[in-house]
Amino acid sequence: MKSVRMLVVLAGISLVSGTSLGGLFEITHELAENNILKFKKIPAVVDIYETVSGPLALEDRIAFEESMLAEKRYVDVGAKKPLLFFVVRRENEPFAVALESYGQGFGGKLGVMVGVDLETEDLVAIGVTTMSETPGVGTRVKEKDFTGQFAGMGGEAVFKVKKDGGEIDAITGATISCRAVADAVGRARATYAEHRSTIRAAVDSPPGDV
């Protein structure tokens, strides 16, 4: 009888613990996702905007970052998760969309936000979102001298470093990181091309729609 009671108590403790841990995971996961959105993804969209419109004053940058929270869209592209992209406006009119993709860097997954011009469908600019590359070497892929090479590239461009037959000058000592960026850009451009009609249809939809 005692053993039965003990089993019931242990089962109850396990149930409560499991429920608590599950709830804690959901809370911390959501917080982490929001932090990545606010401090990684949106700043990369700002980088894209500033490439074509010039540097923003601090107060304008803050306002632009806040506006991007209202300009995020989700579309179903048949993957496990909906595709997230941002509508980038100039003079209150959409002129580009920005979507993220990833490449395999030296230190792990490397994320890149890629801006695509809605009229020409050429690349507007790119911004690095997340990475774990070697400081002072691989991290240099965030510098404008490197990222600026992608601005204006069209759909027929070869998104590879020159060493691999592409069009991008790699940074000395950081070839793997440069390859990761080029691969991520190529993937994002291919995603846009494949789901162009779905993405363009969602540009004028209410924020957050799937």
- Which of 18-32, 59-73, 192-206 is least confident? 18-32
pLDDT band at 208 (very low <50, low <70, confident <90, very high): low
pLDDT (tens digit per residue) in 175-188? 999 999 999 999 99
Spatial separation of the C-alpha atoms in residues 131 and 77, rounded to whole Å: 25
**pLDDT at position 31 over 80:** no
Domain ranges within the chain, ordered by starting residue = 31-202
**pLDDT at position 153 over 50:** yes
**pLDDT at position 73 over 90:** yes
- Which of 26-30, 100-104, 133-137, 155-159 is least confident? 26-30
pLDDT (tens digit per residue) in 89-99? 998 899 999 99
Give me the chain's average pLDDT, please: 87
Q: Which residue did the predictor score with more confidence, 195 or 209?
A: 195
> Span 34-56, mean pLDDT?
91
**pLDDT at position 53 over 70:** yes
**Close Cβ partners of 52 (under 8 Å, ≥ 6 residues apart):** 90, 124, 125
**pLDDT at position 68 over 80:** yes
Query: Which amino acid is located at 167 in the chain?
Result: E
